[in-house]
Structure 1
Amino acid sequence: MSNPQHNNRILIFGASGFIGNTVYKELLPYFNVFGTYCNAKGFENNQVFFNYDVEKDHMYELLNAVQPGVIISCLRGDFKAQYKAHEELKSYVATHDCKLLFLSSDCVFDGKFEFPSYEHDLVKAESSYGRYKISVERMLQEIPSEKFVILRLPVVLGVNAPKIEQLKQAAMHHAAFEVYPNLIISVTLADKIAQQVHYIINKKLQGIFHLASEDVVHHADIFQEIASKLGDKSPIFKNVYGRNDDTYLAILPKKNTLPKTYRITVEEVIEACTLKEEIYTLKN
């Protein structure tokens, strides 16, 4: 029989990052949650946060200390070091009563251009980042399916998202902000990802999920609309053309769809990025 206390223990690798910390805050009231940080400040005295450097440290001591029932990987850093870390995670998960949720990316499809991509489409990547994510996905698929979940993410936005902060700074200083007029993307919010992860854990789901909006938008259009709603100041939009024709780097949910409450649209993402207090801040 599984131990309820053990199943309630969650360890988030990369819990100090933008997405990892949002997931941590969502799960904290409901689970016994632990996390790792590397260089981020403010976590040194937090008793449930452990310092972990993916390029220097091994995971075994930490895993044995926490004994998590669920591991969430939001790791960042050197790809070779991350791959080795996930080999350790795979080994641990395969031999313990434990499940791994791996945050992957739409970049596993950045070698495809013509259509949006769904959960069971053939992956094809040109970027080193996309190829790294594919390598970890394939590694995890060697263990029993009930032991892992692959969560592919699109462009992740939100009031405090790094990309939106960059947009605000560019607007404030009338500086350049790169947009891709021919690139069609899907998007989401970090808060929505956290809710979806919570649901997936509660329902003990497995498989590949595309945690993305149900619709798509041109890269340039969404950032220009967000900028126009944030205030009177505007960045200098620098158009970057990767290809002559429209190119898709969009993932959409199809087979593994979540209940309506846990879905999101492009319009809802734009609305969440342009809250009234933020508009006031930029206009004044």
Structure 2
Amino acid sequence: MDEGGLETIIKEVKPKLIISALRGPFETLIETHQFLIKLIDRSNCRIIFLSSSNVFDTFQHFPSYEYDKTLSESIYGRFKIKIENDLLRLPTSKFVLARLPMVFGNHSPRIRELDDSIINHEPIEVFPNTIINVNNDIKLSQQIHYIINQQLTGVFHLGSSDLIHHFDFVKLIVQKRYQKRAIYKQVYTTNQMRYLAVLARENKLPNNLLFSYTEVLDDLTLVKKDF
């Protein structure tokens, strides 16, 4: 990371808000966020950090809420927890920590993988024992837009209000988007049902920004594919 270049950009632009959705090597991203947090702490700026339900992936027997303890078995989850903990040292007025479930979109990597699997008649990997909630790019953008406009701060869980098995959700996408039969590779990571879901309880958004997984599905199937 070129800290000098990043600091120069921030000094020139003087942003009031930074939205962090960076991808890359974890060590580099940790250094980048530590640098940003120091700058934000001494300037008139806030940060929205997009985190993940994986910060709770150790807790398999129930969905997770905003102020539940984080604990992860995965490298990705522990990486997100590290940045979350650094952010939480800032004054609450300085940050939004937005935890996301699985996010889909008509042109997202997850949907492109489904497209490729259908075209090439390849198995689609599904997790029958994993219970999730979901979001999509359209609804997530609306939620973040509201958070910015209302100058909200704190911890938010941005996903559907209801839950569904991962396998069932993927099957619904395939049925409605492609109207074809598919080949599935069922992966069992545990013999028990496993939750990987983030639900809102303390910091709920207005009702018009709450939704079910069927509404997420409707946005994903607006573009019908005929292969």
With the shorter chain as reference, the TM-score category is over 0.9
Q: How many residues align?
A: 225
Structure 2 residue runs of 5 or longer lacking an equivalent are: none
Residue 91 of structure 2 is matched in structure 1 by 144
Counterpart Cα distance in 2 of 1:232 and 1:73: 37
Q: 2:85 is paired with a residue of what secondary structure?
A: helix
Structure 1 residue runs of 5 or longer lacking an equivalent are: 1-55
Q: Is the 8 A contact 1:102 1:149 kept in 2?
A: yes
User: Which residue, out of 168, 186, 190, partners 2:133?
Assistant: 186
Residue 51 of structure 1 is matched in structure 2 by none
**Aligned-residue RMSD, C-alpha:** 1.0
Counterpart Cα distance in 1 of 2:123 and 2:69: 36
Superposed, which structure 2 residues align to 1:86-125 within 5 Å? 86-125=33-72
Q: Is the 8 A contact 1:107 1:129 kept in 2?
A: yes
Q: Is the 8 A contact 1:158 1:269 kept in 2?
A: no
Q: Aligned-pair distance for 1:122? A: 0.6
Residue 57 of structure 1 is matched in structure 2 by 2
Residue 209 of structure 1 is matched in structure 2 by 156
Superposed, which structure 2 residues align to 1:7-22 within 5 Å? none
Q: Is the 8 A contact 1:180 1:220 kept in 2?
A: yes
Identity %: 41
Q: Is the 8 A contact 1:172 1:235 kept in 2?
A: no
Q: Aligned-pair distance for 1:203? A: 0.7
Q: Aligned-pair distance for 1:106? A: 0.4
Aligned partner letter, 1:180:
F
In the superposition, the TM-score normalised over structure 1's length comes to 0.77
Q: Is the 8 A contact 1:174 1:234 kept in 2?
A: no
Residue 282 of structure 1 is matched in structure 2 by 226
Q: Aligned-pair distance for 1:231? A: 2.4
Q: Aligned-pair distance for 1:220? A: 0.4
In the superposition, the TM-score normalised over structure 2's length comes to 0.96
Counterpart Cα distance in 2 of 1:225 and 1:80: 37
Spell out structure 1 runs of 4+ moving beyond 6 A. Answer: none
Q: Aligned-pair distance for 1:162? A: 1.2
Q: Aligned-pair distance for 1:235? A: 3.1
Residue 156 of structure 1 is matched in structure 2 by 103
1:174 aligns with 2:121: yes
Q: Aligned-pair distance for 1:229? A: 1.2
Residue 209 of structure 2 is matched in structure 1 by 262
User: Which residue, out of 8, 21, 24, partners 1:74?
Assistant: 21
Counterpart Cα distance in 2 of 1:282 and 1:161: 18
Q: Is the 8 A contact 1:106 1:250 kept in 2?
A: yes
Residue 75 of structure 2 is matched in structure 1 by 128
Q: 2:67 is paired with a residue of what secondary structure?
A: coil
Q: 2:190 is paired with a residue of what secondary structure?
A: coil
Q: Aligned-pair distance for 1:232? A: 3.7
Q: Aligned-pair distance for 1:57? A: 2.2
Q: Is the 8 A contact 1:172 1:282 kept in 2?
A: no
Q: Is the 8 A contact 1:109 1:130 kept in 2?
A: yes
Aligned partner letter, 1:222:
F
